[in-house]
Amino acid sequence: MPRTAIILAAGLGTRMKSALPKAAHRLAGRAMLQHLIDSALQVFDRIVVVVGPDMTVLEAMAAPHPVVVQHERLGTAHAALAAASHFGEGEAAILFADNPLIQPETLRRLMAAREGAGLALMAFRPADPARYGRLVVEGGHVVRIVEWADASEAERAIPVCNGGALCGEAPRLLAWLREIRAENAKGEFYLTDLVGLAVRDGAEVVPVEAPEDELRGINSRAELAAAEAVVQGRLRMAAMERGVGLIAPETVFFSWDTEIAADAQVGPFVVFGPGVRVAGPAEIRAFSHLEGCVVEAGAVIGPYARLRPGTVVGAGAHVGNFVELKAASLGAGAKANHLAYIGDASVGLGTNIGAGTITCNYDGFTKHRTTIGECVFVGSDSVLVAPVAIGDGAFVAAGSVITEDVPADAMAFGRARQASKPGMGAAFRERRGKKG
């Protein structure tokens, strides 16, 4: 029988103080909604996302999965009912987009627990139960969930809290949803009322406990930051288990899709934006920032280097301190070791880019490319005005402004001729009333 996941993502996230829907806020460079979809895809056959009105950003993130709109925000059960036509047969689970850290294995445990019961739901024991709904458990089964606003002092003292996600047989779950009434302090249709209806019908409701880090809700910037710390911890541990060397793991920040091979070394305070692939045994030195780039085996990046999208650094190449590359390829063994900007360019193998070199790739309207061949030597403080090409084996003299193509094996000078005027320095000082 098919398994369907209904993901509730209609929350505005008022406490985020943001124009973005809550589920669109990012963890490790990816929206909360997309994190949960990725986990759900490993367990469920179908995914349906419930969003609020005018949440086109979430609709795009949910694609290609079907999206339904909850036009009025009347509670979680009301949101789930918006997807009624998608429940179908088989098993259905209701998940929350602001609980994005739940792992596929935990979702599998939830579904397995349902096989012997009418309803299974996630539970956890947070260090600070705060305002979470409490689970009232008798004989190993949940008899009701009490929302904090409606709980007595004794019920608020219960340490086991509602983890949000639940599952059941799809037709039965839908029938219970349709019976829920807004008889509570907020006047909303609570999904948690499913428990009372299941118990009424003689169905067992079983809790499935998971760590707090998987079930923490995200409703504010502070909670988003706490969740980011959890995600980064997972990514760092996974990298080290793959054989990646992290000198100071707590200072390195990954994106959800960062790929780093075994034996790569990463120094302190390195940030990986989305779309980075690093081969081993490359080295990424301290305070470097990488995004949308590829670093091949044996390359050395940094310290204080920036690799922007579209950059490929070849095997054994060096990108040094305060060097920035954008939409550029650096051939195997090439070096740009100091204070350079290489944008919209290709650099051949074995080429040396001197300190202070820049490619002038933008004329205010269009980006132009610079092509630098193999085994080229570009002297310090050179300006390469694109579009321009420098042939294999050519030399560019230090301080040159290159506006025309340089043939292979040529030496290019693009600077004014130096002239020395004997005694003029002393005469100048004398005119200014200063003595040497």
Closest listed residue to residue 299, CA positions, set 291, 307, 310: 307
Please pick, among 65, 78, 86, 338, the residue that the annotation labels catalytic. 338
Strands 161-169, 119-124: pairing kind: antiparallel
Q: Do residues 2 and 92 make contact, with C-beta atoms less than 8 angstroms apart?
A: no
E strand spans, 198-357: 205-209, 245-246, 259-260, 265-266, 271-272, 277-278, 283-284, 289-290, 293-295, 300-301, 306-307, 311-313, 318-321, 324-330, 335-338, 341-347, 352-353
Backbone angles phi, psi at 233, to 5 degrees: -60, -45
Cβ–Cβ < 8 Å for 400, 416: no
Alpha-carbon distance of 232 to 352, in angstroms, equals 36
Give dist(CA 180, CA 192) in Å, integer: 9
Measured CA to CA, the distance from residue 342 to residue 41 in angstroms comes to 40
* Cα(281)–Cα(258) distance, integer angstroms: 16
Q: Which residues of 336-347 are buried (b: 16+ CB within 10 A; e: fewer)?
A: bbebbbbbbbbb
Report whether 370 contacts 388 (CB < 8 A): yes
**Residue 306, phi then psi, degrees to nearest 5:** -130, 120
Catalytic status, residue 368? no
Measured between alpha carbons, how far is 232 from 250 in angstroms, rounded to an integer? 8
Task: Convert 386-409 to b/e letters by CB count within 10 Å (16 or more is b).
Answer: bbbbbbbbbbbbbbbebeeebeee
Where b means 16+ CB within 10 Å and e means fewer, 268-285 reads ebbbbbbbbbbbbebbbb
Give which of 416, 414, 410, 387 is closest to 401, Cα–Cα. 414
Catalytic residues: 338
